[in-house]
Amino acid sequence: MTDKAVAHARVVNRNDPTYRPTRRDKWSKFCFYKLFLYFGVCYFALDSLPNTLWDPEVRRATLLIGALGIWRFGWWFIHFIRAMIYRHIVFPRMRERADELWQSGWRPHHAHFMLTTFKEHPETTRKVIESICRELAWSGVPGTIWLGSADESDELLIEDHLRLVADETDVELVVLRQDQPGKRIAIGLVLRAISRRNIDADDFIIFMDGDSILAPRLIERCASLFGNDRELQAVTTDEEVVCFGPGWVAVWLAMRFAQRRIAMQSHSLSKRVLTLTGRMSAFRAEHVTSNEFIRLVEADYIDHWLWGRFRFLSGDDKSTWYYMLRHGAKMLFVPDALIYTVERIEGSGVGRMWDNFMRWSGNMLRNGSRAIALGPFRVGPFIWWCLIDQRLSMWTMLISPIVAVLMTTMHSMSYVLSYIIWIAVSRMALSLMLFTQTRRVYLSFPLVLYVNQLVGAVVKIYVIFHLAQQRWSHRENQMVGFDHKLLTHLRSGFGYYLTALYVFSLAIFALTYTQLIELPSFMTLIVFTRELF
């Protein structure tokens, strides 16, 4: 093969989701040149443009933004260091022992695949079924696909394709047609059917969506960990996205998955994770077949001070996680086990991103408060603080843009230029950590990261006062409704009032701390009241 052909092959591989670049390919000379140019432009702008960061009138604002930045970046750095310790020191030891067990001939008795799908793209469904059969054949473990179905076309497609690819595989298909809408109902039906099978407590149960394609050796890499560690009850795996849609959405998803890898590995060092991802998680059957677990997944709810009692629409992965957390179960992230998740963006990429933010933020906030209530001794001190930090970060993220806007409008237009340079440098510093978890270096990450943080904070602040308002476009645009329309409107209106009140209070805090305004003293208020009346 000529040098030109080799170069062409590399280009093709870079676009392949299975491609894993070498360190030399990823951190090429051209890559370092781009980073050098990026920071060079930032330095030139900081040196050449008007700089008012340390003017006496705005110094407190600069110190506030800087202090928040040091706190947030320090927290990121702690997660990054913990992730590296887990990935390169702790997990390799677990993997070595698990591999020894697998090589000795140990296998789980049976592998159960809890698969839910709803009008998925046919080619994606075929790839999913092929990956399951390949894994069962490779591992030599008998398996059952438990299909939670809501549409006959999905059932026929899977049955037909299974006949083509499962000739030499010990696999059984069990179809359960749900009579009520919703993914949770489908999962509940499947789990009740599995529990009636009287399976072994140590059987291997995989929860997966209809758009999750298993990478090679996934069963081996996950099941061997269960066999090696009797205390381990659940694991979730690495994900790589295959995006059919706008390029910026693919970059955004790559950034989010990089964040996920760092966070998951950091959390696993405490033998817990913050979610058992619905796209792909594996469980020991001991807990999963209990009636308490099944009932929580299919009919989870909370009692809210404003919205009363309401059931969860999505977020089944958060319900399974909360059950395991409540029972003190050990949960881990498996960095060398991979699935490919297929994202097909039809219509507006912005609309899809917004829907995902609303769903993810709602699931996190609805479950976070009750997980915090379990306390640091049940949850673990580090994970407990991570849950609190999730609720703090949405407020702290808004302070710096609010201060920057106030400084610009009330002091000098040049302040916003300095703020933009600060964002460019600080977010690239964070991106350098994310690049260790991606297949390539994206110069667009700083912008994508900042927009992701800003939009995420705005959505969370809205959602925290509208927790009951749920919508899931993936499943025929499902929504949670209430019987009393007038009461619902009143609650929603009060939620908007609280949102405005909290954001206004945050702005007042920024104004007073930066001394852009000075609140009247207590004595001034007394004198004013006397003169008024």
Number of neighbours of residue 78 by Cβ within 10 angstroms = 12
Spatial CA neighbour of 211 closest among 261, 280, 264: 280
Q: What is the mean pLDDT of residues 482-497?
A: 84
Spatial CA neighbour of 131 closest among 48, 233, 217, 248: 217
Number of neighbours of residue 139 by Cβ within 10 angstroms = 21
CA 223 vs CA 64, 194, 235: distances in Å: 49, 18, 10
Distance, in Å, from the CA atom of 298 to the CA atom of 180, rounded to the nearest integer, reads 11
Q: What is the mean pLDDT of residues 124-145?
A: 93
Distance, in Å, from the CA atom of 283 to the CA atom of 104, rounded to the nearest integer, reads 22
Q: What is the mean pLDDT of residues 281-307?
A: 90
- In tens, the pLDDT along 241-281 reads 888 888 899 999 999 999 999 999 999 999 999 999 888 99
The amino acid present at 507, given as its one-letter code, is A
pLDDT of residue 414: 80
Instruction: Provide the pLDDT confidence category of residue 522 given band limits of 50, 70 and 90.
Output: low
Instruction: Provide the pLDDT confidence category of residue 352 given band limits of 50, 70 and 90.
Output: confident
Judge whether residue 368 has pLDDT over 80: yes
The H-or-E segment that residue 390 falls in is helix 381-410
pLDDT of residue 151: 81
Distance, in Å, from the CA atom of 383 to the CA atom of 264, rounded to the nearest integer, reads 11
Spatial CA neighbour of 313 closest among 279, 369, 367, 363: 363
